[in-house]
């Protein structure tokens, strides 16, 4: 396994690999790897001859009030996990490498970035789209693997790839969860003991909504269902705020306002909840 620190060195190697007809699978991460990341690497390993991951905590994704400085970091640990997982290359640049002095080019996707996470974190997806496109240009992957937990991010990246004719296939893997249902996240390490007990309730509430929607005799509207979900989440003592509970078309992210005439639709139910300074997101997709 080799560690690449510059865009030039990564481009040189991946260009040579492509000339040798090697299939490159790519997993972009911000480090502090967990089983969710390792499952993405495993998928890339199955589908590609060469696996490259990036570890880069992207400052453009964080607002001034967010946890950039506190975001967990442990490259030595990540390096060991990558070796065991069979990673061939780690692209591990610093901020100056990715955003040199006078950097002024950004990627903005319209419409689908203005809702859900985008409404709460206005410039977040400009940061996401910019870094992902830069990484695709550097790594030149045939395929890139992402996790379903970041559902809106996946929609945005797919839209960018389609609109800008990026020659990379996007593969989406199911959310990896702890035994109690909590979606794996690098931010879970911030949870207190009591918050950690309450956090799995988010997935239980999503499953509750799924059961209700798929029940043949359920005739309540979405506002009522949202209200029930809101009450259930707020019943957890360490929950401090619900940023949103939302029902959307899983492809377009258009808001779904009624449960009538939803046959043959994929419904994304997503939520974002704060446990004091820890903000967690989760979602499920229902095929109606």
Distance CA 269, CA 249 (A): 9
Please tell me the predicted confidence (pLDDT) of residue 211: 93
pLDDT-derived band of residue 21, with 50, 70 and 90 as boundaries? very high
The mean pLDDT of the chain is: 95
Residue-level pLDDT at 288: 73
DSSP tally for the chain: helices H, then strands E: 10, 9
Instruction: Identify whether the C-beta of residue 150 lies closer than 8 Å to the C-beta of residue 175.
Output: no
- Nearest CA among 102, 185, 91, 104 for reference residue 138: 91
* Overall residue count recorded for the chain in this entry: 288
Which residues belong to the active site? 37
pTM of the model: 0.95
| Residue appearing with tokens 């808001």 | 255
Here the tokens at position 90 are 């780690």
Q: Which two tokens stand for residue 5?
A: 């620190």
**The pLDDT of residue 219 is above 80:** no
CATH numbers and ranges of domains, the chain: 2-173 (3.40.50.620), 186-287 (3.30.1300.10)
For residue 157, give the DSSP letter: H
Q: What is the pLDDT of residues 117-135, one digit of tens each?
A: 999 998 999 999 999 999 9
φ/ψ of residue 63, rounded to 5? -85, 165
Pick the more confident residue, 264 or 156. Answer: 156
Confidence bin at 67 (pLDDT 50/70/90): confident
- Split at pLDDT 50, 70, 90, the class of 63 is confident
**Angle between helix 201-214 and 222-234 (nearest 10):** 160
pLDDT tens for 71-114 read 999 999 999 999 999 999 999 999 999 999 999 999 999 999 99
H helix intervals, the chain: 7-19, 35-47, 75-85, 95-98, 117-120, 124-139, 151-163, 193-198, 201-214, 222-234
Write the pLDDT tens digit of every residue in 229-251.
Answer: 999 999 999 999 999 999 999 99
């Amino acid at each position: 396994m080799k560690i690449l620190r510059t865009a030039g060195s990564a481009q040189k190697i991946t260009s040579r690999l492509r000339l040798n007809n090697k299939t490159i699978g790519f997993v972009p991460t911000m480090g502090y790897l967990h089983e969710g990341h390792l499952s993405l690497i495993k998928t890339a390993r199955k589908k590609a001859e060469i696996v490259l991951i990036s570890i880069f905590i992207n400052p453009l994704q964080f607002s001034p009030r967010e946890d950039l400085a506190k975001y967990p970091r442990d490259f030595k640990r990540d390096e060991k996990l990558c070796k065991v997982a069979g990673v061939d290359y780690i692209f591990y640049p610093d901020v100056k490498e990715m955003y040199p002095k006078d950097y002024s080019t950004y990627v903005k996707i319209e419409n689908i970035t203005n809702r859900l996470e985008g409404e709460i974190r206005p410039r977040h997806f400009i940061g996401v789209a910019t870094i992902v496109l830069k990484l695709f240009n550097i790594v030149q992957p045939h395929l890139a693997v992402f996790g379903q937990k970041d559902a809106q991010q996946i929609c945005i990246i797919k839209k960018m790839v389609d609109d800008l004719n990026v020659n990379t296939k996007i593969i989406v893997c199911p959310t990896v969860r702890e035994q109690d249902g909590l979606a794996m996240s690098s931010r879970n390490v911030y949870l207190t003991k009591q918050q950690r007990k309450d956090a799995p309730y988010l997935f239980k509430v999503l499953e509750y909504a799924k059961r209700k929607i798929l029940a043949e005799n359920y005739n309540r509207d979405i506002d009522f269902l949202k209200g029930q979900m809101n009450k259930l989440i707020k019943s957890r003592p360490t929950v401090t705020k619900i940023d949103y509970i939302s029902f959307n078309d899983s492809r377009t992210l258009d808001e779904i306002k009624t449960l009538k005439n939803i046959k043959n639709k994929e419904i994304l139910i997503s939520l974002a909840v704060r446990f004091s300074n820890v903000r967690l997101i989760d979602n499920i997709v229902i095929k109606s």
